[in-house]
Structure 1
Amino acid sequence: MSSIDTGIGERMKAAFRRFPTGVAVIAAAGPRGPAGLTASSVASVSLEPPALSFSVMGGRSARVILDAPSFTVNLLGSAHAGLAHDFARDGGSRFTPEQGWDVLPTGEPFLPGAQANLRVAPLHLIGVGDSTVVVAAILDVLLGPAGGRLVHHDREFLVHEDGDDY
């Protein structure tokens, strides 16, 4: 893979910056406490069996998630732009009482105010370059309050409230 034209990689980043995506925080219980990261690569994979996918790079939070037997994928809404930003950068506030985190009876951290919380277990971890693609079985779904959208586009978190014009 090292023979790939680096110009293609830069153009690929520019192309995907133009492609708006939903935003999630993926969270796991780790040996030193909870760990989490913002992801804009979450996608539905299958209904039978229920499964989703996302990709991560090799930071500390990603390693905790990749080592966890189960974790949560918290699908964020318009009220969570600040939280998404905090979990997207090193040194951001994480798992504070003000953010509203709780713990499921099975031990995973989850965000009750998210639009949905998916408790998942990894099925496949696929190394691709400096990233890992995770395919995970959906074990449980908790639906939170609906309303408003949070979108990642061109390196920004954009909020769209219900009733706003596009």
Structure 2
Amino acid sequence: MFSIETGIGERFKAAFRRHPTGVAVIAAAGPGGPAGLTASSVASVSADPPALSFSVLGSRSARAVLGAPSFTVNLLGPRHVGLARDFARSGGPRFTAGQGWDMLPTGEPILVGAMAGLRCAPLRLVPVGESTVVIASVLEVLLGPPDGRLVHHDREFFTSIDEPSTDEGI
């Protein structure tokens, strides 16, 4: 596969920086211990059967998640903005007791107090350029407190946004 540089790649990234998204930490038990990363690409794929998707680049944490037979997708609320930042950069503190991590009986790391924790197993790994799109079956859903909003927008995390619109035509 090859690409011709036309400037569209930079414009594509700029377009998606303008698109606010929710924030999750995806975590797995890796060969060297727990591994995890912040993701803003998590999306619902199907309710029956329950499935979701996300994409990752080739970082060490991403390789651990991609190689795991199961992992958790921890949907974050506003009190987890620091944790989201820690897992978004290399060298940040990870899986500390103060962050609220525990282990499920099945071995995956779970963030106690996340708005939701979804235990998943990969269905398909689809390489696309430098990324891998993961389509995963949701095996278990653990609901936490409905904690408000944490949104990623233009390379920043926001914990407060306008109230939802009451317009029904959208």
Shorter-chain TM-score tier: over 0.9
- 1:68 match: 68
Q: Does 1:27 align with 2:23?
A: no
Note the C-alpha offset of 1:4. Answer: 3.2
Distance in 2, Cα, partners of 1:3 & 1:97: 44
The one-letter amino acid of 2:13's match is K
Distance 1:157 1:48, change over 3 A: same
Q: How many residues align?
A: 164
Secondary structure, counterpart of 2:63 in structure 1: helix
CA distance in structure 2 between the partners assigned to 1:130 and 1:60 by the alignment? 14
Query: 1:5 is matched with which residue?
Result: 5
Following superposition of structure 1 onto structure 2, how do residues 1-166 of structure 1 map, counting pairs within 5 Å? 1-160=1-160, 165=163
Rounded Cα–Cα distance in structure 2 between residues aligned with 1:18 and 1:9: 15
What amino acid maps onto 2:47 in structure 1?
L
1:17-72 CA-to-partner distances (Å, cap 9, x unmatched) read 00000000000001111000000000000112110000000000000000000000
SS class of match (1:149): coil
Paired with 1:5 and 1:143, the residues of 2 have a C-alpha distance of: 44
> Distance in 1 between the 2:36 and 2:151 partners?
18
Letter in 2 for 1:154: D
User: Aligned AA for 1:40?
Assistant: S
Identity %: 74
Amino acid at match of 1:58: G
Q: Tell me the distance in 1 between the aligned counterparts of 2:23 and 2:125.
A: 21
Q: Which amino acid aligns with 1:135?
A: I
1:112, CA displacement in angstroms?
1.1
Cα distance, 1:6 vs. partner? Answer: 4.3
Structure 2 residue identity aligned to 1:159:
T
Structure 2 residue identity aligned to 1:152: H
Q: Per the alignment, do residues 6 and 62 of structure 1 end up closer, same or farther by CA in structure 2, a change over 3 Å counting? A: farther
Question: Which consecutive unaligned segments of at least 5 residues does structure 2 have?
Answer: 165-170
The root-mean-square deviation of aligned C-alpha atoms, in Å, is 1.3
Runs (4+) of structure 1 exceeding 3 A deviation are none
AA in 1 matched with 2:95: F
Shift of 1:5: 2.8
